[in-house]
C-alpha cells in the first residue's frame, strides 16, 4: 500500500475559487430564456394569483477594468405575461409586461476557456398592466452560471437567475 499527503497550505489548492482577472473590457450578451414564478395576493381575501409562465428576453452589457477580478453589469429583461383574477374585483385575465432593469457585479471563476460565475444586481422592476395603472418597484437579482469561450471574444453563456421585487402594499388589490 502506498500513501500520499496533500499540502493544503499552498496558495493554489483552491485556485478555482479565486476570481479571474479580466482580459476583455466590454461584453454584450443578448439572451432568451423562460421565466416562471411570481404571484400577487388580494389583501382583502388573502387569495393568491400567479403570473403566467413564459418566454423572456433581454440584454446584459458589462464592463471590467483590465486585470480587475470582476465585471460590472447592466441587465435588462422583458417578459409578456398575464394574471387570471377569476372575476375578482370584476377582473378576468389581465395582460402584463414585466421589465427588469438592474445594475450589479459578476465574479468569474475557473479557466480562461470555461468560467463559472455568480452575480448580484439591484434595480427596478416595472409592471405594465393592460387597462390598469403601471407601477415600478425596487428589485434585486442573484444568479449563477457558466461561460464557455469559443474564442477570446465570443462565448456561450447559460445561467439561472432569481428576481425579487420589494412590494409594500396596503388595502385591496
What pLDDT, on the 0 to 100 scale, is given for residue 169? Answer: 56
Q: Give me the mean pLDDT over the 75-96 stretch.
A: 86
Cβ neighbours of 34 (radius 10 Å) = 9
Report field, pTM of the whole predicted structure over 0.85 = no
Distance of CA 130 to the CA centre of its chain: 25
What pLDDT, on the 0 to 100 scale, is given for residue 171? Answer: 43
Q: Give me the mean pLDDT over the 136-150 stretch.
A: 94
Contacts by residues 44-51 (CB-CB < 8 Å, ≥ 24 positions apart): 44/171, 44/172, 44/173, 45/88, 47/88, 49/83, 49/84, 49/85, 49/86, 49/88, 50/83, 51/81, 51/82, 51/83, 51/96, 51/98
What pLDDT, on the 0 to 100 scale, is given for residue 5? Answer: 46
- In sequence order, what are the residues at sequence separation of 6 or more whose Cβ sits closer than 8 angstroms to the Cβ of residue 69? 18, 19, 20, 21, 22, 107
Q: Give me the mean pLDDT over the 107-124 stretch.
A: 91
Q: Which residue has the higher pLDDT, 167 or 33?
A: 33
Average pLDDT of every residue of the chain: 83
What pLDDT, on the 0 to 100 scale, is given for residue 17? Answer: 62
User: Band of the pLDDT at 168, cuts 50, 70, 90?
Assistant: low
What pLDDT, on the 0 to 100 scale, is given for residue 12? Answer: 53
Q: Give me the mean pLDDT over the 59-87 stretch.
A: 90
- Residue 10 predicted with pLDDT over 50: no
- Residue 15 predicted with pLDDT over 70: no
Contact in structure between 50 and 38 (CB atoms under 8 Å): yes
8-12, 25-29, 148-152, 156-160: segment of lowest average pLDDT: 8-12
User: Band of the pLDDT at 7, cuts 50, 70, 90?
Assistant: very low
Amino acid at each position: 500500500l502506498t500513501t500520499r499527503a496533500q499540502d493544503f497550505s499552498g496558495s493554489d489548492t483552491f485556485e478555482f475559487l479565486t476570481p479571474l482577472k479580466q482580459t476583455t473590457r466590454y461584453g454584450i450578451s443578448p439572451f432568451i430564456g423562460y421565466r416562471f414564478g411570481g404571484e400577487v395576493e388580494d389583501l382583502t381575501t388573502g387569495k393568491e394569483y400567479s403570473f403566467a409562465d413564459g418566454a423572456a428576453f433581454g440584454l446584459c452589457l458589462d464592463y471590467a477594468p483590465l486585470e480587475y477580478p470582476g465585471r460590472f453589469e447592466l441587465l435588462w429583461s422583458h417578459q409578456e405575461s398575464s394574471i387570471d383574477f377569476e372575476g375578482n374585483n370584476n377582473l378576468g385575465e389581465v395582460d402584463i409586461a414585466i421589465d427588469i432593469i438592474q445594475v450589479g457585479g459578476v465574479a468569474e471563476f475557473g479557466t480562461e476557456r470555461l468560467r463559472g460565475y455568480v452575480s448580484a444586481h439591484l434595480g427596478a422592476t416595472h409592471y405594465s398592466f393592460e387597462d390598469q395603472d403601471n407601477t415600478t418597484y425596487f428589485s434585486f437579482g442573484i444568479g449563477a452560471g457558466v461561460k464557455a469561450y469559443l474564442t477570446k471574444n465570443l462565448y456561450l453563456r447559460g445561467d439561472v437567475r432569481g428576481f425579487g421585487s420589494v412590494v409594500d402594499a396596503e388595502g385591496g388589490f
